[in-house]
Chains A and B, each alone.
Chain A
Amino acid sequence: MSQLYRPTVVVVGNGMVGYKFCEKLIAKASSFNVVVFGEEPRRAYDRVHLSEYFNGKSAEDLSMSHKDWYLDNGVTLHLGDTIQDINTSEKTVHALSGITQSYDYLVLATGSSPFVPNIPGVEKNGVFVYRTIEDLELIKAYAKKARKGAVLGGGLLGLEAAKALIDLGVEETHVVEFAPRLMPRQIDSAGSRMLQSKLELLGLQMHLQKTTSNIIGEDKVEALQFADETSLEVDMLVISAGIRPRDELAKLAGLETGTRGGIVVNEKMQTSDESIFAIGECALYDGMIYGLVAPGYEMAEVVATHICEGERSFRGYDMSTKLKLIGVDVASFGDPFVAEPDSRAIVFEDKHKGVYKRVNISNDGKYLLGGILIGDADAYNILLQTVNNKIVLPPNPEDLILGARGGEASTSAGVMALPDEALICSCEAVTKGAICSAVDEQGVTTIEGMKKCNKAGTGCGGCIPLVKDLITDTLKANGTYIKNTICEHFDYSRQELFDLLKINNVKTYDEALGLFGKGDGCELCKPPVASILASLWNDVIVKQQPIQDSNDKYLANIQKGGTYSVVPRIPGGEITPDKLIVIGQVAKKYGLYTKITGGQRIDMFGAHLSDLPDIWEELIDAGFESGHAYGKSLRTVKSCVGSTWCRYGLHDSVSFAIEVEERYKGLRSPHKLKGGVSGCVRECAEAQAKDFGIIATEKGWNLFVCGNGGSKPQHAQLLASDIDKETCIKFLDRFLMFYIRTADALTRTATWLNKMEGGMSYLKNVIINDSLGINDQLEAEMQELVGKYSCEWKEVVQNPDLRKRFAHFVNAPKEKDPTVQFNTMREQIVAKEW
């Protein structure tokens, strides 16, 4: 042990900035003794994402560090202990717990507290603020019995709090704002109006220009009284009227503070006492409090550098922000308000879609000064970079917000044009130069790699699209051919691997890895290889269980809590009463939750792993088969009732749907496949939203392909019209086999078509005109797969070795996982929240 003196750095406040300071200091030097005091009862957490606490994130999920971080890095942490005074001459601080701690450097990172205006009644029950996890716990508990809630303050935090009330199930949520518009610090009146009308559509009720004069109620809040004599009945109130820097400790110690609060600091973040620093929301630099994390992190960097005897100064910080408020994009950057005569504005407003965009251009038309985006903020990153780096504008600056019309959209072409100093990740202060050199010199090629290399993208995540573009463009600029390889173990695309495995007659994963891969494989390459093998040979997939993806492994979808769902096939959605009864009996016997799915069949949730073979044994005995709800394979072929009952039905759509579903059941493919058959153009089976859709016509059937529901819905396109059933099946065989052979892993038919050169006319040429001369082959391959079908659950049920794999404990196969727990809702079980 060396006897060297280790200077002590004491940090007051374990919030976002205080923590980040410790992290930065430790990364720079190990020669300090670091002691932290935090008033809150838990380790620093991500306050920016505080509201996610209501969406199921736990305090631990929000935590900024692993629980052993402080210990591992030799930092002493006192939680739940408030510093009460500073003795600047003795250089000590005194904590509530009685500890007196001496310091060489003292860093105040005490943050801010919510400002609560002096309105009579603010002390009443049901009045809250929104700053800490404890605040949220109180709000959550109270909201259960509240029907009407209001938020005082229509700024950024207020609107976020309002969203939280909606999420908590408060039926009526109001926002009360004193100013004539929302988010007065970030957006202009026109933007505010657009935002307001979008938020109103989502169920928020706005009250602008309202001064609250009284909070009425016995002991708890019952109504708000406004200065204009009107009032509003509410059961709870969240106050979000701004923040007040916590400078009480500094004031007491005689440090200089601002007249409206804040600890005065210079560009080194030094207070009026040179060994005391202030950073984050408590610091007042050049007359300004910075209420965002990015500037706070920069302040932390300045102090850490300074203590380690380096050079760095704080020079103010860009206050641009982008956020999603209740699903509405809102962004403001540079100087959002500068107007004539100092600049010229270009404004775009689309009331129909709820989009408002404003960019402020310098009078000479050369530079972008700032702007506002509401409803669509995709261009935020690039516009912010354009402002910050003084990039000379193109001749038609309106393209910035309208997109280049008549040509390719040009926004992303801009990333490589940015100068190396351009700040890409402002949370972690990573520049474009650093990102590109990580690609060039350290061989980083993925977002994950970049996060590890320089932390870019680990903060708010807003820069990730830009980082991705930079990685791809740098690789391209290097002449690196960016191939769509599966993962680090296989240097091939799915399509190449498919051909290789086929030509070489490869039957197992190990063989494939030995011949064409390296290393031991991983979760990225095993499932696609498993899927290719299944598409090629259609062997029972459980025989190669360890390479199957989570759900294929146990032939069931894994659900929250570790139980599984059971979905028997119900072709075309048609089922007999007897079979319905069996499903009811099985569900009852094994205590399962039942629901009719969006795919016209019945899902039973909550099955223990060890019960799955028994459940399926009973279902199979009653004539059911696997529904492959877990597989990248055919799911359902949805039908409408068609001509057997429906007065408009042209042909028997149910029979055709069943025939098609029976034909392709169990077919493994790059992604899941869904079909639909409708009995007339009214399209009750939604066939045009499926990977393949068949619609009856007067003369036969129309065949549509490559439709998709899901997050990016896309209508299917017509492949052939007025064809008979046999032709329809023939085209489908070709189409599906062509897709299986050529699509990338996890690519639905719609995306596959979108990427296909030549698009639909090319596909038609292949499938109908046999332009590649492969159709006989495609049909023969499909026929072979269809011939080889067998129900994989049946194989498991009949095979004791395979059944054994479904035990939770191999050394206690009869015992179920004791950690599985359920809640109840409407007389059925549901998974416990995680």
Chain B
Amino acid sequence: MELEIATAVEWVLVCKTDDVPHDGGACVKYNDEQIAVFNFARRGEWYATQNLCPHKQQMVLSRGMIGSTGEACEPKVACPFHKKTFSLLSGECLSGDEYQIKTYPVKVVGDDVYIGLE
């Protein structure tokens, strides 16, 4: 399984580590796609999701606030518009609506940030 996933993914260099603020996000452009990249510095983790908030179709998730919720400290991002929150792991909407956003794997090599695209 591991191997299969690794080969199916194409790693694209999108930005440098210091392009994304600590515990914040930034938006990168890949072809016509907008992808939000999050530097969860407090946990030493990186995440990426679609930049579009499905609630009102706004290109803003990278400007949202990240944090965690619950016992398991699930990482999440809150949309700046109406504060709908989404899991950075599964892309599931955590505020009770049936939205789903895309998530992408992220790899940091040195100070280069890569996103895994299928």
On A, residues with C-beta under 8 Å from B are 65-66, 68-69, 448, 451-452, 458, 488-489, 510, 519-523, 525-527, 545-547, 549-550, 553-554, 558, 560-562, 609, 804-805, 807-812, 815, 817, 819-820, 834
Taken together as a complex, chains A and B put the C-alpha atoms of A451 and B64 apart, in Å, by 24
List, in ascending order, chain A residues with CB within 8 A of B64's CB: 523
- Complex: how many Å from CA A449 to CA B79? 19
Of the listed stretches B2-10, B54-62, B103-111, name the one at the interface; the rest are far from the partner chain: B54-62
Interface residues on B, range: 35 or more
Q: Which residues of B contact A546 (CB under 8 A)?
A: 21-24, 65-66
Bound: A576/B80 CA distance, A: 36
How far is it, in angstroms, between the C-alpha of A396 and the C-alpha of B16 when the chains are bound? 73
Q: How far is the CA of A549 from the CA of B65 in the complex (A)?
A: 8
For residues 52 through 105 of chain B, which have their beta carbon under 8 Å from a beta carbon of chain A? 56-60, 63-70, 73, 75-76, 78, 80-81, 83, 85, 95-96, 98-100
Query: Which of A448, A525, A811 gathers the greatest number of chain B CB atoms within 10 Å?
Result: A811
List 11 additional A-B contacts (Cβ < 8 Å) besides A65-B98, A560-B56: A451-B96, A547-B23, A547-B65, A549-B65, A550-B81, A553-B65, A558-B80, A558-B81, A561-B58, A808-B27, A817-B59
Which listed residue, B20, B59, B69, touches A810 by the CB 8 Å rule?
B20
Q: Are B19 and A562 in touch, CB under 8 angstroms? A: no
A68-B100, A521-B67, A522-B65 given as contacts; is B29 within 8 A of A815 (CB)? yes
Asked if residues B59 and A520 are in contact (CB atoms below 8 Å), the reply is no
Bound Cα distance A815, B100 (Å)? 28
A58 to B11, CA, bound (A): 36
Complex-state Cα separation, A521 to B73, whole angstroms: 9
Contact (Cβ within 8 A) A809 B28: yes
Which of A549, A558, A807, A809 gathers most chain B CB within 10 Å?
Answer: A809
Is A553 in contact with B69, judged by CB distance below 8 angstroms? no
Q: What's the least CB distance linking B109 to chain A, in Å? A: 16
B26 interface hit (Cβ, 8 Å): yes
**Do the beta carbons of A448 and B96 come within 8 Å of each other?**
yes
- Which of A452, A527, A810, A834 is in CB contact (< 8 Å) with B58? A834
Residue of A nearest to B20 (CB): A810
B21's partner among A452, A488, A805, A817 (CB-CB below 8 A) is: A805
> A65 — nearest CB in chain B belongs to which residue?
B98
Closest residue of B by beta carbon distance from A447: B96
User: Chain B 32-66, CB within 8 Å of chain A: the 1/0 string?
Assistant: 00100100101100000000000011111001111
C-alpha spacing A489/B73, complex, angstroms: 10
Which residues in A have their C-beta under 8 angstroms from that of B28?
809-811
Which residues of chain B have C-beta atoms less than 8 A from A522's C-beta? 65, 67-69, 76, 78, 85
Contact, CB under 8 Å: B73 / A834: no
Contact B67 A523 (CB under 8 A): yes
Which residues of A are found within 8 Å of B34, using beta-carbon distances? 809, 817, 819
What are 22 residue pairs bridging A and B, where the CB atoms are less than 8 Å apart in the complex? Answer: A65-B98, A66-B98, A66-B100, A488-B70, A520-B75, A521-B67, A522-B67, A546-B21, A546-B65, A547-B65, A553-B63, A553-B65, A558-B80, A561-B58, A609-B63, A809-B28, A809-B29, A809-B34, A810-B20, A810-B27, A810-B37, A820-B59
Find chain B residues with CB under 8 A from A68 CB.
Answer: 100
Which 10 interchain pairs have the tightest Cβ spacing?
A: A522-B67, A546-B24, A550-B80, A66-B98, A523-B78, A520-B68, A810-B19, A810-B26, A809-B29, A523-B65
- Return chain A residues, CB-CB under 8 Å to B67: 489, 519-523, 525-526
Partner of A519, one of B22, B24, B68: B68
CB-CB under 8 A from A805, the residues of chain B are 21
Residue of B nearest to A522 (CB): B67
- Which chain A residues lie closer than 8 Å to B83 at the CB level? 523
Complex alpha-carbon distance, A568 and B96, angstroms: 38
> Quick one: closest B residue to A819, CB to CB?
B59
B85: chain A residues at CB < 8 Å are 522-523
Q: How far is the CB of A118 from chain B (nearest CB, A)?
A: 43
Check A811/B22 contact, CB under 8 A, given A488-B69, A520-B68, A522-B68: no
A520-B43, A522-B65 known; A69 vs B98 contact (CB < 8 Å): yes
- Distance in angstroms between the alpha carbons of A550 and B76 in the assembled complex: 16
Q: Chain B residues with Cβ under 8 A from A553's Cβ?
A: 63, 65, 80
Which of B42, B56, B63 is in CB contact (< 8 Å) with A520?
Answer: B42
Q: How far is the CA of A804 from the CA of B27 in the complex (A)?
A: 12
Residue of B nearest to A64 (CB): B98
B24 is contacted by which of A545, A550, A815 (Cβ under 8 Å)? A545
> Which A residues are in CB contact (< 8 Å) with B27?
808-810
A805 and B73 CA atoms in complex are apart in Å by: 27
Contact partners of B24 in chain A: CB under 8 A: 545-546
Q: Is the CB of A526 within 8 A of B65?
A: yes
CA of A520 to CA of B41, assembled, Å? 10
B65 near A834: Cβ-Cβ < 8 Å = no
Q: CA separation between A807 and B21, bound complex, in Å?
A: 12
* Residues of A with C-beta under 8 A to B20: 810
Contacts of A66 in B (CB 8 A): 98-100
How near does chain B come to A318, taking the closest CB pair, in angstroms?
27
| Docked CA distance A549–B26 (Å) | 16
Cα A451 to Cα B94 with chains together (Å) = 12
Cβ contact within 8 Å between A562 and B99: no
Q: Smallest CB-CB separation from B93: which chain A residue?
A: A66
Return chain A residues, CB-CB under 8 Å to B95: 448
Point out the residues of chain B lying under 8 angstroms from A807, CB to CB: 26
Q: Give A67 to B24 CA distance when docked, in angstroms.
A: 30
Bound state CA distance, A810 and B68, in angstroms? Answer: 25
Q: Would A520 and B73 be within 8 Å (CB), given that A558-B80, A558-B81, A809-B29 are in contact?
A: yes
A458-B97 Cα distance, complex, nearest whole Å: 10
Given A562-B58, A562-B59, A811 contacting B29 (CB threshold 8 A): yes
Q: Once the chains are docked, how many angstroms separate the CA of A778 from the CA of B94?
A: 42
Contact yes or no, B98 A812, CB < 8 A: no
From known contacts A562-B59, A810-B28, A819-B59, infer whether A452 and B68 are also in contact, taking CB-CB under 8 Å. no
Inter-subunit contact B56/A834 (CB<8 Å): yes
Alpha-carbon distance A558/B27, docked complex (angstroms): 16
Docked-complex contact B60 and A558, CB < 8 angstroms = yes
Q: With A and B bound together, what is the CA distance between A558 and B59 in angstroms?
A: 12
A809 proximity list for chain B (CB < 8 A): 27-29, 34
A808 to B28, CA, bound (A): 8
Q: Which residue of B lies closest to A804 (CB)?
A: B19
Q: Is the CB of A521 within 8 A of B29?
A: no
* A805 vs B95: C-alpha distance when bound (angstroms): 28
A448 to B96, CA, bound (A): 7
**Do residues A834 and B98 form an inter-chain contact, with CB atoms below 8 A?**
no
- The CA of A817 and the CA of B96, in the complex, are separated in Å by 29
Chain A residues with Cβ below 8 Å from B73 are 519-520
Q: Provided the pairs A452-B96, A523-B67 are in contact, do residues A562 and B60 lie with their beta carbons within 8 angstroms?
A: yes
A285 to B108: give the CA distance in the assembly, Å: 65
B19 lies within 8 A of A811 (CB): yes
Which residues of B have CB within 8 Å of A488? 69-70
Chain A residues closer than 8 Å to B58, beta-carbon distance: 561-562, 834
Closest chain B CB from A560 CB (angstroms): 8
Q: Which residues of B contact A560 (CB under 8 A)?
A: 56
Give the docked Cα–Cα distance between A520 and B56 (Å): 27
Most buried by B among A554, A819, A820: A819
Query: Which single residue of chain B is at the shortest CB-CB distance from A527?
Result: B65
Q: Look across to chain A and name the residue whose beta carbon is closest to the beta carbon of B82.
A: A550
- In the docked arrangement, what's the CA distance between A810 and B43, Å? 22
Chain B residues, Cβ within 8 Å of A520: 40, 42-43, 66-68, 73, 75
Taking the closest CB of chain A, its distance from the CB of B6, in whole angstroms, is 24
| Most B Cβ at <10 Å: residue of A69, A560, A562, A807 | A562
For A819, the chain B residues whose CB sits under 8 A away are: 34, 59
Taking CB atoms, residues of chain B closer than 8 Å to A547 are 23, 65
Complex Cα distance, B19 from A284, in Å, reads 65
**Within 8 Å CB of A549, what residues of B?**
65
CB of A510 within 8 A of CB of B98, answer no
CA distance A811 to B112 in the complex (A): 12
Using Cβ atoms and an 8 Å threshold, which residues of chain B touch A545? 21, 24
Q: How near does chain A come to B88, taking the closest CB pair, in angstroms?
A: 11
